Amino acid sequence: MKTHLLEIKLTLCLVVIMTITSLNIDAQSLRLIMMPVSSGDACLVIFPNGKTMLIDSGTDGKYDDIVEPFLSRHCISHLDYWVLSHPHPDHEGGEAEMQSSGMIDANTVYWDYNTFNYADAFTAEGVDFFIYNVKDVSIHGNNGNKNSLAFRMEYNGWVYTTGGDEGVGSMQRFLADYPSLVPANVRKLAHHGYGPYDQAFLLATDAQLILVPNKIDIIAHGGWFAMMVEPIVNYLRNNGGRAYNPGIAVTGIDGFISIKVQNANDWNYTLDTYANRYSYMMSDWTQCISNNNYDASLTAVVSISDPACNSTTINPVIMVKNRAQYTLTSLEIEYDVDGGSSQTYNWSGNLPPGISEEVSLPTMTVSAAGNHTFNAECSLPNGQNDQQSNNDDISAQFSIASNTSAVDLSLAMDCYGEEITWTVVDSNGVTVGSGGPYPLSFVGEPIDVQLCLAPGCYDFNIFDTYGDGLDGTTDTTCGANGSYHINDDVGNTLVQMATPFFGNSATHNFCIGVITGIPSNTVDDFKIYPNPFKNSFTLQLSENTTYPITIEVLDYLGRKVHTQTITTSATEITLSNQLSPGTYFVKVTTQTTQKVVRMVKIK
């Protein structure tokens, strides 16, 4: 009964769907186009009746760079379905832009991991669907990847299965409960080829084509792909599997992957090249361009490369699109910061109609530290007046820090980077750096982040939503621990992971340089002597100091090696004679302020 109710619900939704521009495709064919959005998912489905479905949409950057231009080139301005397998940044990109442009609206049918129940079966747009994974915290916990919406599509006997970033558990349950539904002509690999797989499930899938939405290094790097996928492919090739010679298509190598289906015995796929990712057109589709002869636009600020600490130079990269009927060969680009004096860059090239290209602008110097706005505007396409001037300008925010030092965070994941986040918080409780989650990370491959920090003391906090830290060796499907450390700009270690099994979180305190500018009525002038010292030093405070005062001594890893409460103006601080010679930080703290001095211990 549940299946029939679901069919009725879907039918009622579909009655009010807007008709879209007539598509130039073969009648009665099902189309799937896997887009090269690097380590993320974006698959366009064109149903036999011409309705459209987008399964995930890459990152924000890849939506702007790849997905939206592809849809625009093919005259698709509205989606009938948008499917989000799970809310991770490499799957839900461009949502705000799709809403503002009308690509998705109230007439778009939305599916996610909360829409269905396990084993729901229904027909939509002439295609049969079977749901084999949904969000279920009782089985998957709060792991976003493992809760991915996963389903099977069948059209005239031809089968495609896709699972977002699902885990081993959903594959095993599908195989155990519905083994006859597991075989598929095309299988889209979960988790972009990074994560673990159930080999029995892959073997039972017996696919003729395996899709890997990823960069080229998924094959070169090896890892889970080499351990679990390639042996299955080789087994099928050597033991007479249904396909006998299953193909592997990687979007980072093959670019757009287009599949066209009439039935199980009449289907084909074509592979493009990654180099053509900005211009790919399906051969039986008309191009969508304006009627203008001269229309260039700026569609995105791709990046404003972060300047080095204390540097005031930026290197902007913007996206230029030719929306006209003529090939674009020249363009004038004027850009500035905060509306100040501008620079002009004369671009030249060969940009066909409907195609986009990244343009790197010359380095620009910014006058001061702080928050800024980058502005760019294009004009004179091919030396002519632009016939559509309302798409010529673009802006983006960025900031420059001053009086800072560089620290480098190196963070290597276990098998579950999607569970890891981190923050760096200053002594006032302000978050000055953060990162994660990392659903795209390679096991054991460091993620390097540089932070520009002002002199002071900080807490590095690392969090794991599952509760086992970066411990992967106790997980039989993983077998690899993660790690992290922070070094200063001369290579000294400020933070070092003590154990991979740190539970839900770990915190490390570390200091950079000497804090200056403390108000005179708090911790006033004081002296610490001698410096360098051997085992003890004297803290001399001014007469108007308010007590009590807390003193902490930290080593270069941010570990507290001594804590003491001060109640007199001159106090001798004696440290353990077990402390190694080297650099230490003495932190003097009241309830409102603190001051830090770098000290050197000698033998």
Q: How many CA atoms lie within 13 A of 494 on its CB side?
A: 28
Give start-end residues of each CATH 3.60.15.10 domain in the chain: 29-276
The 10s digit of each residue's pLDDT in 63-88 is 988 999 899 888 888 999 999 999 98
Q: Taking 60 as the threshold, does the pLDDT of residue 519 lie above it?
A: no
From CA 458, how far away is CA 496, in angstroms rounded?
A: 14
Residue 401 Cα distances to 182, 266, 313, 339, 452, angstroms: 54, 60, 11, 20, 7
Give start-end residues of each CATH 2.60.60 domain in the chain: 405-512
- Residue 184: name the closest of 214, 216, 162 by CA: 162
Least trusted range by pLDDT, from 254-258, 377-381, 589-593: 589-593
Q: Taking 50 as the threshold, does the pLDDT of residue 155 lie above it?
A: yes
At residue 219, the pLDDT reads: 59
Sheet of 343-351: strands edge to edge? Answer: 343-351, 328-337, 370-379, 393-400
Mean pLDDT, range 322-351, rounded to an integer: 94
- Residue 211: name the closest of 148, 149, 258 by CA: 258
The CATH class that applies to domain 29-276 reads alpha beta
- CA 564 to chain CA centroid, Å, is 44
Q: Taking 50 as the threshold, does the pLDDT of residue 443 lie above it?
A: yes
Higher pLDDT, 281 or 519: 281
At residue 118, the pLDDT reads: 97
Burial class (CB in 10 A: 0-12, 13-18, 19+), 529: exposed
Q: Taking 60 as the threshold, does the pLDDT of residue 124 lie above it?
A: yes
Q: Taking 90 as the threshold, does the pLDDT of residue 43 lie above it?
A: yes
What burial letters (b/e) apply to 276-314, b meaning 16+ CB within 10 Å? ebbbbbbeebeebbeeeebbbbbbbbbbbeebebeeeeb
From CA 522, how far away is CA 504, in angstroms rounded?
A: 37
Q: Taking 60 as the threshold, does the pLDDT of residue 245 lie above it?
A: no
Q: Taking 60 as the threshold, does the pLDDT of residue 559 lie above it?
A: yes
At residue 51, the pLDDT reads: 94
Mean pLDDT, range 17-44, rounded to an integer: 69
At residue 484, the pLDDT reads: 95
From CA 550, how far away is CA 539, in angstroms rounded?
A: 11
Mean pLDDT, range 185-210, rounded to an integer: 86
At residue 339, the pLDDT reads: 93
The helix or strand, by DSSP H or E, that contains position 252, with its residue range, turns out to be: helix 251-254
Burial class (CB in 10 A: 0-12, 13-18, 19+), 352: middle
Angle CA 23–24–29, to nearest 5: 90
Q: Which CATH architecture has domain 405-512?
A: Sandwich (2.60)
Q: Is the dihedral of CA 220, 223, 224, 229 positive or negative?
A: positive
Least trusted range by pLDDT, from 12-16, 124-128, 210-214, 333-337: 12-16
Higher pLDDT, 366 or 559: 366
- CA end-to-end span of the chain, whole Å? 82
Where residue 589 falls among pLDDT bands split at 50, 70, 90?
A: confident
The helix or strand, by DSSP H or E, that contains position 508, with its residue range, turns out to be: strand 505-512
- Is residue 38 left, alpha or beta, with left meaning phi > 0 and alpha meaning psi from -120 to 50? left
From CA 580, how far away is CA 481, in angstroms rounded?
A: 29
From CA 527, how far away is CA 570, in angstroms rounded?
A: 9
At residue 126, the pLDDT reads: 95
Higher pLDDT, 136 or 304: 136
Q: How many CB atoms lie within 10 A of CB 216?
A: 14
At residue 6, the pLDDT reads: 30
Q: Which CATH architecture has domain 296-400?
A: Sandwich (2.60)
The 10s digit of each residue's pLDDT in 394-434 is 998 887 877 788 899 999 988 778 788 999 998 888 898 89
From CA 523, how far away is CA 545, in angstroms rounded?
A: 6
From CA 78, how far away is CA 63, in angstroms rounded?
A: 15
The helix or strand, by DSSP H or E, that contains position 122, with its residue range, turns out to be: strand 121-124
Q: Taking 50 as the threshold, does the pLDDT of residue 7 lie above it?
A: no
Mean pLDDT, range 139-152, rounded to an integer: 91
Q: Which CATH architecture has domain 526-601?
A: Sandwich (2.60)
| Structural tokens at position 103 | 């690509």
**Can you point out the beta strands (E) in 338-465?**
343-351, 356-360, 364-365, 370-379, 393-400, 405-412, 420-426, 431-435, 447-453, 456-464
- Give the 3-state secondary structure of 58-70: CCHHHHHHHHHHH
Give start-end residues of each CATH 2.60.40.3080 domain in the chain: 526-601
Q: Taking 90 as the threshold, does the pLDDT of residue 539 lie above it?
A: no
Where residue 502 falls among pLDDT bands split at 50, 70, 90?
A: very high
Mean pLDDT, range 452-476, rounded to an integer: 85
From CA 336, how far away is CA 394, in angstroms rounded?
A: 11
Higher pLDDT, 449 or 543: 449
| Structural tokens at position 373 | 């706005």
Mean pLDDT, range 242-255, rounded to an integer: 72
Q: Is the dihedral of CA 77, 278, 448, 399 positive or negative?
A: negative
At residue 440, the pLDDT reads: 55
On average, the pLDDT of the chain sits at 82
Q: Taking 80 as the threshold, does the pLDDT of residue 30 lie above it?
A: yes
Give start-end residues of each CATH 2.60.40.10 domain in the chain: 296-400
- Which range, 84-88, 185-189, 343-347, has the best average confidence (pLDDT)? 343-347
| pTM of the predicted model as reported, rounded to 2 decimal places | 0.57
The 10s digit of each residue's pLDDT in 294-330 is 999 998 887 786 556 777 888 899 989 888 889 999 9
The helix or strand, by DSSP H or E, that contains position 155, with its residue range, turns out to be: strand 150-155
